Amino acid sequence: MPEPKTLLDKLWDAHVVANEPGCPDVLYVDLHLLHEVTSPQAFAELAGRGLAVRRPERCLATMDHATPTTPGLPSGDRAAMTQLETLAANCRRHGIVLHAVGESGNGVAHVIAPECGHTRPGMTIACGDSHTSTHGAFGALAFGIGTSEVAQVLATQCLLQYRPQPMEVAVTGRLAPGVTAKDLALAVIARIGAAGGTGCAIEYRGAAVAALSMEGRMSLCNMSIEAGARAGMVAPDSTTLEYLRRRLTPAQYEQVEAQATCWQSDTGARFAKSAHLDAATLAPMVTWGTSPAQAAAVTGRVPEPANAADERALCYMKLAPGAAIAGTKVNAVFVGSCTNGRIEDLRAAAGLLRGRRVAPGVRVLVVPGSQRVKREAEAEGLAQVFAQAGAQWREPGCSMCIAMNGDSAAPGELVVSTSNRNFEGRQGPGVRTVLASPLTAAASAIAGCIADPRELERSQP
């Protein structure tokens, strides 16, 4: 009998072009996503060596990092304009499809590829962006690569890669009302640590994961990199197929449906590492430090520092051990990013804000992950809900996740953010970032301080 295989091993073995003992494998890449920040140097390398793009039809480009979230191009930012112009020129030269600023298909790479049906089970996907792990929600092997590796893929459609170890994160039970996939992601990282997945590709399994929507699974896989993992994955099921059925042609869908059952871990497959959580025990989560692993329930208290890193984090965040996390004053709230900028995320935030107002003095930015999400939100009246609540409704882009184009906070301000990283200075020099779900972000915007969304849900107007 053949040895039972994990999903990771099936995906890897199906894409190995060549291998030699002691050397990295040559791995074929099905889809290569490009954006304006990490691609210019790669294209320049190809030009310097007189090389063409090997498979332009396997590439998809978008403008997302340097794009403003207010109408128009960043004409006042010459560096950003140069990045966007360079990407456009390179895509024209090599025949690569580009979703430019303002076009109907534009948006954050990890939002537009799934919503347009480009991300499918059984694929390998690479991008010069660490949160490429998002696409693993479809039963794909997706990971971020460096600039020199972007050039490798452009020139050969392959990568030199060492096989990661398979890791299992099994989540039993069901998430309680008010507790979301983002809370689960933060709980996983808090449990296993920022290096808990190092050298591994995490497969999320169990009843709680199966109950998540595709948007929720994407949020979960997106955060895998914050646990040190190379990738995150969820095996495809009926939820995956239903999501894709609405985005593929009948012929494309028939092919995906026929192969979906292949992309599952076999019974008895062995994982190098395992972690287990009970979803029923989880509460809405927030970070208290400067690593996504430094997280706790919103109902909890700031922990005593366990090491020098904790001490530094508490000093930067200006939080005192033993203090209640809820009630901490908030200056700004950001709803968006490749983690939580999808329509489901905006519906959740709008549901809490409907009929309420943002607290005086709190600035709220709501940034859809794509033009498609923006159109859906506006058609459903969500944009109007945000505006009536006192939030700013913006154009798609990475925005405050990386403090681009003026979407940042002032030194010392505290931002409750639905993005994926809370490193020092991530949202501006000296800015303090608290990671949270869209529900918790909306609740905090209303309260003017970090707040438990379940309390507001119980008193919905």
Closest of 256, 461, 229 to residue 351, by C-alpha: 461
The answer on pLDDT for 459 being more than 70 is yes
* CATH number of the structural domain 285-452: 3.30.499.10
Q: Alpha-carbon torsion 26, 8, 219, 416, what sign?
A: negative
pLDDT of residue 208: 98
SS3 88: helix
Side by side, the strands of the sheet bearing 273-278 are 231-233, 200-205, 165-172, 273-278
- Fold of the 7-161 domain: Aconitase; domain 3 (3.30.499)
Provide the whole-model pTM.
0.97
**What does the pLDDT look like over 372-423, one tens digit per residue?**
999 999 999 999 999 999 999 999 999 999 998 889 999 999 999 999 999 9
Identical fold between 7-161 and 285-452: yes
**What does the pLDDT look like over 282-338, one tens digit per residue?**
999 999 999 999 999 999 999 999 999 999 999 999 999 999 999 999 999 999 999
Q: Mean pLDDT, the chain, as a whole number?
A: 96
What is the helix, strand, coil percentage profile of the chain, to 5? 40, 20, 45
**What does the pLDDT look like over 189-239, one tens digit per residue?**
999 999 999 999 999 999 999 999 999 999 999 999 999 999 999 999 999
Q: Do 69 and 396 touch, CB atoms closer than 8 A? A: yes
- Fold of the 165-281 domain: Aconitase; Domain 2 (3.40.1060)
pLDDT of residue 450: 98
pLDDT interval class at 78 (50, 70, 90): confident
Element (H, E) at 133: none
Q: Do 321 and 314 touch, CB atoms closer than 8 A? A: yes
Q: Where are the domains of the chain?
A: 7-161, 165-281, 285-452
pLDDT of residue 56: 98
Q: How many residues appear in the chain? A: 461
* Residue 389 to residue 398: CA distance in whole angstroms: 23
- Distant-in-sequence, close-in-space partners of 128: CB < 8 Å, separation ≥ 6: 34, 35, 37, 38, 39, 42, 144, 145, 146, 147, 149, 150
Cα distances (Å, whole numbers) of residue 348 to 179, 196, 199, 307, 382 = 11, 30, 34, 36, 10
